[in-house]
Amino acid sequence: MSGRDGRDVYEYALLRVVPRVERGECFNAGVLVYCRAKSYVAARTHLDEGKLRALDPAADVSGVRAALRAVEGLCAGGAAAGQAARDDAGRRFRWLIAPRSTVVQPGPVHTGLTADPEAEVERLLQLLVR
């Protein structure tokens, strides 16, 4: 849905790292953005190893990095997305925001308006993750 001012509605969710699910402690490590009007979906991630080690000194850093890269790959489409590459952007976003009990979890979905979804991904990463 586009507004008169040239901005489109977008949805976003934070990617949280929950090193020890039973403790419920988490920190933000990425953001997913979906803009239906532009058929756009993307993820950007940034893993703060210090935070990860503070919550779990025995955390599998490379495993968490791989999980975050997988989310970015799924959003990007192509060979990295596997079977999901055939799905449209909205379907990929909905699959990624589905609740799961793993080390990398999506947070709640929020909405906003943007003229440039790609710039919005970077802005949200800076504001909410870094």
Question: pLDDT > 90: what percent of the chain?
Answer: 69
Q: Which two tokens stand for residue 81?
A: 């997305």
Is the pLDDT reported for residue 109 higher than 70?
Answer: yes
DSSP, res 13: E
In angstroms, the CA 31 to CA 37 distance is 19
Total-model pTM: 0.87
Rounded average pLDDT over 87-106: 87
What's the half-sphere exposure (Cβ side, CA atoms, 13 Å) at 114?
21
Is the pLDDT reported for residue 82 higher than 80?
Answer: no
Rounded average pLDDT over 102-108: 92
Cα R_g (the chain), whole angstroms: 15
Find tokens 């040239």 and name the residue: 6
Is the pLDDT reported for residue 80 higher than 80?
Answer: no
Question: pLDDT > 70: what percent of the chain?
Answer: 91
